[in-house]
Structure 1
Amino acid sequence: MSRLVAWLEDYVLPLASKIGQVRWLVALRDAFISVMPITIAGSMAVLIKSLIAAAKTNLGWKAFAWTMQPLVLISDVVWRGTFALFALFLALSLGYHLAKSFEVDSLAGAIVSLSSLAMSIANLTKLQVNSKVIFLPHAFDIEQFSTTGIFTAILFGTIGVSIYAMCFKARIMIHLETNLPYAEQRAFDSLVPAIIAIFGVGAINFVFQSVTGTFFGNWLLHTIQWPLVRMGQGFGMVMLVTLLVQIFWFFGINGLSVMAPMLDSIWLTAQNVNITAVRNGKAAPLLWARSSFDVFAWFGGAGGTLMLIIAILLFSKRSDYRTIAKVALAPGIFNINEPVVLGLPVVLNPVYFIPFILAPLVNVAFSYWVTMMGLVNPVQAAVPAVMPPILGPFLACNYDWRAIVLSIINMLIALAIWTPFVFAADKLADTNSPRPYYTRQY
């Protein structure tokens, strides 16, 4: 065990630290976090519509469904303003955070990123009328601004903002020596760098379209984005990412933050595809989504540490461990695990290394195969990260009661894995405690 921990500390920890400091990855992580209100609002629109439809179909509440029809229409409007434009919001957020990391004008960076996305997707739409396909030039298909445009937004948003930042840092700008208001002066400073960046991205797209005869966004979608999303549905890929998140966390590095660019770009895309399909009345096509990790394995936070807290409260005889567990219980119910991970601690604690790694892996593996067998719905709605266990899976799986059963089974499995190591930690702590010194009485 000590050799394994030392090897991970020597080779894995430095790599994780470097990944966590990459400017582009940090900006991408912050961008996905920033658009969370859009994600949650769009998911709520799907959940509301599904709840009303289920009440009408399964319970026969036709009058209720008719009364709630305005709410269904409002949910459709909310959908068009949130998930239907997800890539648009992501491009803005990524441009803002990337420009901020370069210490240049953030608003200009957001605008350049959005312009770069718009230039990189097809302005040609197909329309089917009476079994005939009509091509409409100079018209954007709104689907290109949804999840299908995520990789395009990431790639060209990064290219555009990087060019803009380099020109700005090189002082290639028009700087007026007059007493202009701050906003106007910043706009003039950003004018030339932004123009160079936009024309640079435009030139890249023009050359690509001239050589290949297709838009870069369409090519990127079919040759890179979809293969990666489908690769993310593989059991090995899911288990590998779970393992890496746990290893990073064990060494005190937020594994979710380090792996956020991969988790969000691959599995959040899959989740959005499922949400879109359900919203259109179709079955969720993809097995594993971003929230699948959270609702089926990371209850209480990464490592399933809520069950560690419960195991300590049930079985530990040490008052110091029980006190920490009592303090960490309320945050743990809402999937905040820093009090127990850093306070017990779990981080760099060899006693808890095996259950911290093993419990999520077993939960993910079990949930993956249960979902594959069709015994529970795939995740098809985004729920907030602070949603308590049992309730979170129920909502994420679109009101599937079987998700509650699966969640309870997973929690019991994690509890069974954590419990022996709680006893071991008690025994080890008692062994290492200083013995009292008695003076001999005569």
Structure 2
Amino acid sequence: MNRLVAWLENYVLPLANRLAQVRWLVALRDAFITVMPITIAGSLAVLIKSLIEAAKVNLGWKTFAFVMQPLVLISNVVWRGTFSLFALFFALTLGYQLAKNLEVSPLGGAVVSLASFTMSIASFVNLKVRGVNLTIHNAFDISQLSTTGTFTAIIFGSLGVVIYAFCLHERFMLHFSTTLPRAEQEAFDSLVPGIIAIFAVGLINFIFQSATGTYFGNWLLKTIQIPLVNMGQGFGMVLLVTLLVQIFWFFGINGISVLAPILDSIWLPAQNVNVTAARDGNVPPFLWVRGSFDVFAWFGGAGGTLMLIVAILLFSKRSDYRTIAKVALAPGIFNINEPIVLGLPVVLNPVYFIPFVLAPLVNVAFSYWVSIMGLVNPVQVAVPSIMPPLIGPFLACNYDWRAIVLSLIDMLIALAIWTPFVFAADKIADADKTPQFFTTQY
């Protein structure tokens, strides 16, 4: 065990530290976090509509459904203003966060990122109407404004901001009197860099469209985004990311945050497709999405540490462990695990390395195959990460009671994995309390 921990510390920990310091990855993570209100608001609209529809179809509450129709219409308006424009909002937040990390004007970066993104999903669209091929010029593909355009926003939004920041750092700007108000001075400083960045991205898109006959967003969707999202449905890929999250966390590095660019880039678009399908009354196409990790494996936080708290309260005889567990119980119910992970600690504690890694892997594997067999609805609603276990899966799976059963089984499995190591920790503590003998000479 000590050799394994030493190997991970020598080879994996430096990689995690380097990833955590890459400014583009940090900006990407923060951008996804910033746009979370848009995701949650759109998902709440889906929940409201689904609840009213379920009451009408399953319970026969037709009068209730009729009375609640205004709320359904309001939810549709919320949807159109939030989730259906996800990539648009994401391009703004990514530009802001990346510009801030590159130490240039965040608002200027947000504008450049948005312009760079929209240029990549526009110009002309080829349509086939009644067997006739038509080309519509100066058009936007509005489907790319939703989660479909996320990868395009990442690539061209980042490219535009990087060019913009480079020009600012190289002082490619108009110089005016320093007596100008700060807002005007920043606007004039950003003028030339912004123009250079936007025209550079425009030139790239023009060349690409002239060479391929299609706009970049459409090409990216078909050749990279869809295959990458489909790859994320593979069992091995799901387990690998789960393993890396746990290993990073074991060394005190928030694995979910470090790997957020991967988690959100691959599994969040799949989740958003499921949310859209549920809203339209269609069958969600993806079985494993971003929220699946949270509701079926990371209850109490990464590692399923809520079950560690329960195991300590049930079986541990150590007063210090029980005190920490009591303090950590309330945060753990809301999936906040820092009190137990850092307070016990679990971090860098060889006794708890195996269950900390193994419990989420087993839970993910079990839940994945249950989902494959169609025994539970896939996650199709985005719920806040602080939603307590059992309630979170029920809502995330669109009011599927089977999600509660699966989540409960996962928690019992994690409890069974954690419990022997809680007993082991008690025995190790008892062994350390060796008696000391004193001799007195007269």
TM-score range, shorter chain: over 0.9
Rounded to whole Å, the distance in 2 between the matches of 1:313 and 1:96 is 45
362-371 or 210-219: which moved more? 210-219
Rounded to whole Å, the distance in 2 between the matches of 1:62 and 1:127 is 41
116-125 or 189-198: which moved more? 116-125
Change over 3 Å in CA distance of 1:151–1:73 after alignment to 2: same
Rounded to whole Å, the distance in 1 between the matches of 2:116 and 2:162 is 11
Rounded to whole Å, the distance in 2 between the matches of 1:341 and 1:329 is 12
Rounded to whole Å, the distance in 1 between the matches of 2:150 and 2:282 is 22
Listed as ranges, the matches of 1:344-355 within 5 Å are 344-355=344-355
Secondary structure of 2:104 counterpart = coil
Q: Which residue in 2 is equivalent to 1:19?
A: 19
Rounded to whole Å, the distance in 1 between the matches of 2:139 and 2:158 is 25
> How many pairs are equivalent?
442
Q: Deviations over 1:23-47 (max 9, x none)?
A: 1000000000000100100000000
Listed as ranges, the matches of 1:179-218 within 5 Å are 179-218=179-218
Matched, 1:172 2:180: no
Task: Report sequence identity in percent.
Answer: 76
Rounded to whole Å, the distance in 1 between the matches of 2:13 and 2:237 is 21
Rounded to whole Å, the distance in 2 between the matches of 1:434 and 1:189 is 70
Displacement, 1:141? 3.1
Q: Which residue in 1 is equivalent to 2:101?
A: 101
Displacement, 1:138? 2.3
Q: 1:127, 1:135 within 8 Å by CA — same for their partners in 2?
A: yes
- Residue identity in the other structure for 1:240: L
Rounded to whole Å, the distance in 1 between the matches of 2:216 and 2:394 is 39
Change over 3 Å in CA distance of 1:220–1:391 after alignment to 2: same
Q: Deviations over 1:251-285 (max 9, x none)?
A: 11110011000000110010000001111110100
- Residue identity in the other structure for 1:75: S
Q: Which residue in 1 is equivalent to 2:50?
A: 50
Q: Which residue in 1 is equivalent to 2:313?
A: 313
Q: Which residue in 2 is equivalent to 1:410?
A: 410
Rounded to whole Å, the distance in 2 between the matches of 1:89 and 1:432 is 56
Displacement, 1:133? 7.7
Q: Which residue in 2 is equivalent to 1:295?
A: 295
Listed as ranges, the matches of 1:55-94 within 5 Å are 55-94=55-94
Rounded to whole Å, the distance in 2 between the matches of 1:408 and 1:313 is 18
Displacement, 1:238? 0.3
Displacement, 1:182? 1.0
Q: 2:124, 2:215 within 8 Å by CA — same for their partners in 1?
A: no
Secondary structure of 2:113 counterpart = helix
Displacement, 1:139? 2.7
Q: 1:122, 1:218 within 8 Å by CA — same for their partners in 2?
A: no
- Residue identity in the other structure for 2:49: K
Rounded to whole Å, the distance in 1 between the matches of 2:48 and 2:178 is 55
- Residue identity in the other structure for 1:324: I
- Residue identity in the other structure for 1:223: T
Rounded to whole Å, the distance in 2 between the matches of 1:435 and 1:133 is 89
Matched, 1:334 2:334: yes
State the TM-score, normalizing by the size of structure 1.
0.97
- Residue identity in the other structure for 1:289: V
Q: 1:123, 1:141 within 8 Å by CA — same for their partners in 2?
A: no
Q: Which residue in 2 is equivalent to 1:279?
A: 279
- Residue identity in the other structure for 2:241: V
Q: Which residue in 1 is equivalent to 2:148?
A: 148
Matched, 1:253 2:253: yes
Q: Which residue in 1 is equivalent to 2:114?
A: 114
Q: 2:125, 2:214 within 8 Å by CA — same for their partners in 1?
A: no
- Residue identity in the other structure for 2:28: L
Secondary structure of 1:10 counterpart = helix
Rounded to whole Å, the distance in 1 between the matches of 2:386 and 2:439 is 54
Secondary structure of 1:139 counterpart = strand
Listed as ranges, the matches of 1:125-164 within 5 Å are 136-164=136-164
- Residue identity in the other structure for 1:274: N
- Gapped regions of structure 2 (runs ≥ 5): none
Change over 3 Å in CA distance of 1:427–1:441 after alignment to 2: farther
State the TM-score, normalizing by the size of structure 2.
0.97
Rounded to whole Å, the distance in 1 between the matches of 2:273 and 2:128 is 23
Secondary structure of 2:366 counterpart = helix
Secondary structure of 1:20 counterpart = helix
- Residue identity in the other structure for 2:271: Q
Rounded to whole Å, the distance in 1 between the matches of 2:362 and 2:49 is 34
Displacement, 1:122? 3.2
Q: Which residue in 2 is equivalent to 1:400?
A: 400
- Residue identity in the other structure for 1:149: G
Rounded to whole Å, the distance in 1 between the matches of 2:412 and 2:395 is 20
Secondary structure of 1:138 counterpart = strand
Change over 3 Å in CA distance of 1:127–1:53 after alignment to 2: farther
Secondary structure of 2:249 counterpart = helix
Rounded to whole Å, the distance in 2 between the matches of 1:130 and 1:215 is 23
Q: Which residue in 2 is equivalent to 1:219?
A: 219
Displacement, 1:125? 5.1
